[in-house]
Amino acid sequence: MIKRSRTFPICSSKDRNDGLAYRLCESIDTDLNILLISRQEELNFNEDILGLKNLPYVIIDYIENGWDNNFKETLVIGKNTERFDFLYGEGWEKLHDFVKQYPPKIYFKRELLKEDESDYLKPIEYPNFQSDYPLQLREEFNNRPIEVLNYWGRSHEARLILHGSIWKNSQAKGYAVCDNIYQFNHFMHHEKDARKWLSFHIPFYDRQDISQIMKINAMSKLSISLFGCGRKCFRNTGESIVNSICVMPEDGLAYSYPFEHGKNCIKFSINDDVTGLKNEWDVIGACEEALKRNDLYDIYLESKKIADWYRVDNYLKNYLEPLINKIL
């Protein structure tokens, strides 16, 4: 019989927890209990957690620090909770005190700085739930009709800056832009410019079928993923890499399967102002330079490999479950 974890959300109402993370936790083949932590503006503490005090358990922490956090240290519940002012109130105090007194056997952290990774603190991401796509031959990839895809919601102000910069630079760089997903088919049919960039604003109140976006992703050589409500965007590990090459910031975070510039992704540097409001993120320059590379197809092949490593079944079997079950 396949074992499944018993997952304890931090708040008393399951509906207020991260549904995708809960689904992942419930799929882990383990005898250990899991304490699932996600960001809550006001935590209604789940009293069932107190039953873990004499049992071995695991923490899986998907908290996003916020788009305007300067990210100078890793938030670890039970250690430095009080230094993060977006976690306030009696519920977070109770959770902090419990974890401090009864620490887990291992702590998986989404927003984990590289220098803080240890045998106790391990990175975790959202896995790849997308359909698999067959690899293209070199000529097929090189002939993709779209150079760059950027699709975004307003979870970070830098995304607005990039959208404007793509338009601002289109004349100087010599590419055509489509910024409305509802105009995409007409754009592809009528636009004669060989260089095509897409920057779709897709707000939370007008979500699109991700399978349709993945089809457009498969027509694009590069797929941009910026910071969102936290530094680690779900697009890095679950969407952009599926059938394109991810263009992402040097975020300083630890990953279950590392992203390496020029090998399986394209990275660009940022300065200390991670809000993106005062600095220039040269995303466009990174894309332009990447498009000139003669090894872009090879990076695409490696991107497919990392997409498979993050595919949910592989992620459970080859990453999460071995780390969790070795402490039994």
Question: Residues 142, 223: one domain?
Answer: yes
In a domain, 317, yes or no: yes
At 10, the pLDDT band (50, 70, 90 cuts) reads: confident
CA distance 283 to 191: 24
Question: Residues 167, 91: one domain?
Answer: no
| Mean pLDDT along residues 78-87 | 94
Question: Residues 316, 232: one domain?
Answer: no
Question: Residues 12, 116: one domain?
Answer: yes
In a domain, 12, yes or no: yes
pTM beyond 0.85: the answer is yes
Domain range holding 111? 6-127+312-325
Q: What CATH number is associated with residue 180? A: 3.40.50.2000
Question: Residues 96, 23: one domain?
Answer: yes
Looking at every residue in the chain, the average pLDDT score rounds to 92
| Mean pLDDT along residues 187-215 | 94
In a domain, 24, yes or no: yes
Question: Residues 220, 301: one domain?
Answer: yes
* Closest CA relative to residue 325, chosen from 117, 29, 120: 29
Number of domains in the chain: 2
Question: Residues 180, 299: one domain?
Answer: yes
Q: Is a pLDDT exceeding 60 seen at residue 281?
A: yes
The secondary structure of 111-138 as a DSSP string is: S-BGGG--SSEEE----B-SPP-PPPPH
Question: Residues 158, 173: one domain?
Answer: yes
Question: Residues 38, 176: one domain?
Answer: no
Torsion sign (Cα): 157, 158, 162, 164: positive
Q: Is a pLDDT exceeding 90 seen at residue 72?
A: no
Question: Residues 122, 148: one domain?
Answer: no
pLDDT score of 11 = 78
CA distance 281 to 266: 14
pLDDT score of 71 = 83
Question: Residues 276, 299: one domain?
Answer: yes
pLDDT score of 171 = 86
pLDDT tens for 135-193 read 999 999 999 999 999 999 999 888 998 999 999 999 888 899 999 999 999 999 999 99
Q: Is a pLDDT exceeding 70 seen at residue 219?
A: yes
In a domain, 133, yes or no: no
